[in-house]
Structure 1
Amino acid sequence: MIRYVAIALMWFIFNQDCFAQSKTLQFRSTDAALQTAFERAKEMALSYRGKSGDLVGEWYEAALPERSAFCMRDVSHQSMAAEMIGLGKANKNMFLQFAGNISDSRDWCSYWEINKEGKPAPADYRSDEEFWYNLNANFDILNSAWKLYLWTGDRSYVNGPKLANFHKKSVNDYIRRWVLQPDSLLSRPLHPNAGASYDDEDSFQRCRGLASYSEGVHDLKMGVDLIASLCRGMKTYADMLRLNGLAAEAKLYDAKAEQYRQHIEKQWWSEKNGKYFTYYSSAGSFGHTEGETFLLWFDVLNDSTRTRKVIDEILSREWNIENESYFPYLLGQYGYTRQVRDYILHLTDLKTKRREYPEVSYGVIQGIVQGVMGIDADARVNRITTLFNGRADDTHTLENLPVLQRKISVTESRSKTSFQNTGSSAVQWRAMFTGKHPFITVDGVKRKAAQMTVKGARMVSYLDVNVAASRQVTARVD
């Protein structure tokens, strides 16, 4: 009898696991290698979930794995994929942890890295006067909170008390305290908030307010990536103000964003080298190290020729695993189909060094959903967009993708996309196809298509379709 009970219990547990698995994000493809890459990435990403008894609450690892912690940069870059694989509650908790710890005593910084006990990670924090902090972080969190709102429709990422305070302090007090105004970027002190007992040999003091994510230049005064984050931070905050009906105030922040963008174009572009400088030293000279990636990450480039040269530079050299983890998503936005696939396969190759770094698996998931399949959302207009960025002969399917408080399934190929809305209310679907097509056929009915240019100067044709609850719609081009 005991034997049969044990077998029944094992059967129940197995089927419960299968049922739970079937309700999470699934990816199928005619490209077997890409499907394997997704499965590896999803398994690894979910393995980084925190335990239910951890004092910090729900979380996932977003730092060096042995630290049992999450840092502001990595969370900003992992949060979209985390949402896609069902870790939305962890996202909310982690963003609130960062927002709730912004402090005047830390010059409006938060804790760069928080561990599973809900405390600042000792590897990066000694006291409010001595801690590691990259100044891009506040604007990365601000912008990622906005992206999560657009994807989920959860306005608390914009207007929740802790996050609203974080956003406002970051675009005002934080900038003043760290001397980050557009006209001060090259003349600011190297260490604006250094104490009287400042010790340049102590990394907890020297790195309290690094002006870049690039940490290899000892006397770096300003990084182009920080200016890009400032530009995007101002633009995103303007969008937040518009969402709240404050159009006049939003224009002020639009103007600030443009000042930062113009500074990048006028001061940081090297005509001689055909690329952007990435840092400015305390000796008063420009130089090149990491940084180009964030011109794309923060989406601050308007000149398509210069943008192409940035991408050419990225593709011409080797990068650390952190930068590589962003490429499937970023390059997909610009239509680099082959390179996106190559990076995804590289990042999930069992021989790739440091593939266990958490940003990698999350970057692959985002790269497949948004890079390869071109899925995006805009809660302001209740719209989901699809744009196939795969190889010509491939067909890809995503199931159980959580977006705009519902789950959707999408099957895409170069000329045909099916969109299933499994939610309880209608959603606007913008079906996009690369190229100029006069018509898009929707469920057998030919309709006139509109055209627009997207990133990478690509011409796309599109049609907006209202998809009712529990309905599936198919669009195709000839």
Structure 2
Amino acid sequence: MNFQSSLIHRLLAAAVMLCIFINLPAFAQDVKFTSSDKKIEQAFAWAKDMALHYKGHPADPAGPWYESALPPRDAFCMRDVSHQSIGGEILGLKRENNNMLTLFARNISASKNWCSYWEMNKAGKPAPEDYRNDREFWYNLPANFDVLNASWRMYLWTGNKYYINDPIFTNFQEKTVKDYINAWVLSSDSLLNRPAHPNAPVPFNESDPFHRCRGLPSYSEGVPNLKTGADLVAALYRGLSTYSAILASKGKLAEAKAYALKAEKYRHRLEADWWDTKDNLYFTYYGKDGKFGRDEGETFLLWFDALKDTTRIKQTLSHLASKTWNVENTSYLPLIFYNNNSWDKARDYLLYLSDKNTERREYPEVSFGVIEGIVQGMMGITPNARSQSITTIYKTTGNGDAGISNLPLLGTMINVVHQGTQQSSLNNIGKLQIMWKAMFYGTYKQAYANGRPVPVKHVTDNWGKHISFAEVTVKPNQHIKISVK
């Protein structure tokens, strides 16, 4: 799963598209998306077909899985799965998500200094492209925190407490936030003076990537002599914040508070040490030579929601938008830009990623990223298992319609339709009751549910935008339409 572009990628792309048009898989149905914005509707249709093409055979020794690595490997990688999991859930790939995340959590071990397997294949083995033995393997250190956060997001989306309560996951959580951080010298006050290779094999062979990259402190793989990456700092912040949220959900409030404070120390270091006052951008890596530099990495500062200063967020978004990145990085951008008040640019990325002329658009993350960008980003659909609730908010600069049907979440299934920016409807076609928070940009004085007045409330988001909302309970087989005036 190295970020490279080559002839083989283009040949694979052609082969994949040929397979799709000749033999569209029978399971590519269920969830459906329609929109008055036909280009976005077409992007969803393409992404759905492409993503479902990558579904593995459930009888493979690994169990249910989908491609989430470089396609020739028949494999799934920790970073890719963490990113693709929500898109997979939207498309009904819940068994695959459950299995792959479980395999990553289960294979954490002391012999690997509390790493898991960076990449596994359909045979249920560590991919040989990244693993020789427990002393010699490739591993990117943000991965544990990414998987930890992904398992929490799976719980929030599905309501399945397995992701936070099963012993496999609780062991993974505890080892990651304690032993893993200690083993790799990742305390908040050691990030700039930690050794570059704290657990390297002995004797150490600098030219062997399984020695040199056994604990690569970043997802950016093209920078030599890294000591720390800014994305690792952001991942640490998100991982500890996530663990704090997991503890809080279990009523362990004192421990939750302690881990929230630990997480905040990483965010403080990110702002204090990594902001370049000259260029008004974040540095993205710190080298063994004691110097900061800039390469890939900004994407993950936003993906892990580690930035709170809106001025710095705007600068970071502007810099990201000013360059063309590899498709792996770009596949994160639709949701990131939708979540950060840049909707037109988010739409541009959706169309760019799904465009037939975009190089390597068949890389698996791309299609899954487009699906999530449309559903969580543009449609603004966010479930929360802690309260068995869902929020919706339409992020568009136009006034068109958009709808999604047969969307699985929180143990039920729903249809959501946005009719312009002042009316949304939700049809609960599943078996469990949910609380719906229907949100609309703007300040409105009245809200109606199926024509009856309901209380309307108001908030302001981080960008200063006014939001009006109404909350209603939606029972199984109930359809409610909410409008504001």
Cα distance in 1 for residues equivalent to 2:74 and 2:358: 22
Residue in 1 that maps onto 2:480: 473
Q: Any gaps of 5 or more consecutive residues in structure 1? A: 1-16
Tell me if 1:464 matches 2:471.
Answer: yes
Residues 249-307 of structure 1 show CA distances to partners (whole Å, capped at 9, x for unaligned) of 11110110010010011111112111111111111111111111111110111111111
Tell me if 1:374 matches 2:385.
Answer: no
Tell me if 1:332 matches 2:359.
Answer: no
CA-based RMSD of the aligned residues comes to: 1.6
Tell me if 1:432 matches 2:439.
Answer: yes
Residue in 1 that maps onto 2:12: none
Residues 149-191 of structure 1 show CA distances to partners (whole Å, capped at 9, x for unaligned) of 0000001100111111001100000000000000100000010
Residue in 2 that maps onto 1:229: 235
**Displacement of 1:441 after TM fit?**
2.1
In percent, how many aligned pairs have the same letter? 49
**Displacement of 1:23 after TM fit?**
6.0
Residues 89-126 of structure 1 show CA distances to partners (whole Å, capped at 9, x for unaligned) of 01000011101110100000000000000000010001
CA contact (8 A) 2:247 2:255 kept: yes
Residue in 2 that maps onto 1:216: 222
CA contact (8 A) 1:48 1:60 kept: yes
Q: Which moved more, 1:131-140 or 1:22-31?
A: 22-31
Cα distance in 2 for residues equivalent to 1:66 and 1:243: 40
CA contact (8 A) 2:27 2:52 kept: no
CA contact (8 A) 1:304 1:457 kept: no
Matches within 5 A, 1:123-142: 123-142=129-148
Residues 310-343 of structure 1 show CA distances to partners (whole Å, capped at 9, x for unaligned) of 1111111111101110111111112322112111
Aligned residue for 1:381, secondary structure, equals coil
Tell me if 1:443 matches 2:428.
Answer: no
CA contact (8 A) 1:24 1:400 kept: yes
**Displacement of 1:459 after TM fit?**
2.5
How many equivalent pairs are there? 462
Tell me if 1:53 matches 2:59.
Answer: yes
Cα distance in 1 for residues equivalent to 2:42 and 2:481: 27
Cα distance in 1 for residues equivalent to 2:29 and 2:57: 21
Describe the shift of the 1:51–1:326 C-alpha distance in structure 2 as closer, same or farther (beyond 3 A): same
**Displacement of 1:415 after TM fit?**
1.4
Tell me if 1:113 matches 2:127.
Answer: no
Residues 210-243 of structure 1 show CA distances to partners (whole Å, capped at 9, x for unaligned) of 1000011101111110000000111100111111
Letter of the 1:407 partner, please give it.
Answer: M
Aligned residue for 2:85, secondary structure, equals helix
CA contact (8 A) 2:28 2:48 kept: no
**Displacement of 1:24 after TM fit?**
1.2
Cα distance in 2 for residues equivalent to 1:383 and 1:276: 36
Aligned residue for 2:189, secondary structure, equals helix
Cα distance in 1 for residues equivalent to 2:202 and 2:58: 44
**What is the aligned counterpart of 1:69 among 66, 75, 78?**
75
Residue in 1 that maps onto 2:422: 415
**What is the aligned counterpart of 1:250 among 245, 256, 272?**
256
Letter of the 2:253 partner, please give it.
Answer: A
**What is the aligned counterpart of 1:300 among 303, 306, 324?**
306
Cα distance in 2 for residues equivalent to 1:90 and 1:283: 43
Residue in 1 that maps onto 2:186: 180
Tell me if 1:406 matches 2:412.
Answer: yes
Residue in 1 that maps onto 2:32: 26
Residue in 2 that maps onto 1:453: 460
**Displacement of 1:33 after TM fit?**
1.1
Letter of the 1:282 partner, please give it.
Answer: K
**What is the aligned counterpart of 1:83 among 74, 80, 89?**
89
Tell me if 1:43 matches 2:43.
Answer: no
**Displacement of 1:22 after TM fit?**
8.9
Which aligned segments of 4 or more residues in structure 1 are displaced greater than 4 angstroms?
20-23
Letter of the 1:477 partner, please give it.
Answer: V
